[in-house]
Amino acid sequence: MVMRASKGKKEIDIKEVIKKELPEIVKSDPEFRLWVIDVTHNLYADKSEAESKFDKILEELRRDREEQAKRWEEDRKRWEENNKKWEENNRKWEENNKRLEEMQKEWNRRWEENQKTINRILDELKESRRRFDSSIGALGARWGIQTEESFREALKGILRDVSKVQVERCLGYDEEGIVFGRPDQIELDLIVKDGILIIGEIKSSMSKPDVYILKRKVKFYEKKHGRKPDKVVIISPMVSDEARKLAEEFGYEIYSYAGDLKV
What residues does each domain of the chain span?
46-146, 147-260
What is the predicted pLDDT for the residue at 216? 93
Give me the sheet containing 196-202, strands edge to edge.
Answer: 166-174, 184-193, 196-202, 231-235, 253-255
pLDDT at 141 (0 to 100) = 42
Residue 236 has phi, psi (to 5 degrees) of -160, 135
pLDDT digits (tens, 9 = 90+) for 107-147: 888 888 878 887 877 766 565 555 545 544 444 444 443 45
Give the pLDDT of residue 137.
Answer: 46
pLDDT tens sequence across 241-259: 999 999 999 999 887 766 5
- pLDDT for res 129: 56
Q: With a cut of 70, list the residues of the chain below it in pLDDT.
A: 1-12, 41-51, 123-163, 257-263
Question: In terms of Cα–Cα distance, which of 69, 205, 194 is closest to 144?
Answer: 205
Contacts of residue 221, Cβ cutoff 8 Å, sequence gap at least 6: 170, 172, 188, 199, 227, 229
The pLDDT, as a whole number, for residue 45 is: 55
Fold designation for 147-260: Trna Endonuclease; Chain: A, domain 1 (3.40.1350)
Average pLDDT over the chain reads: 76
Predicted pLDDT at 149 = 63
What pLDDT is recorded for position 136?
42
Strand 166-174, strand 184-193: pairing: antiparallel
In one-letter notation, the amino acid at residue 178 is: I
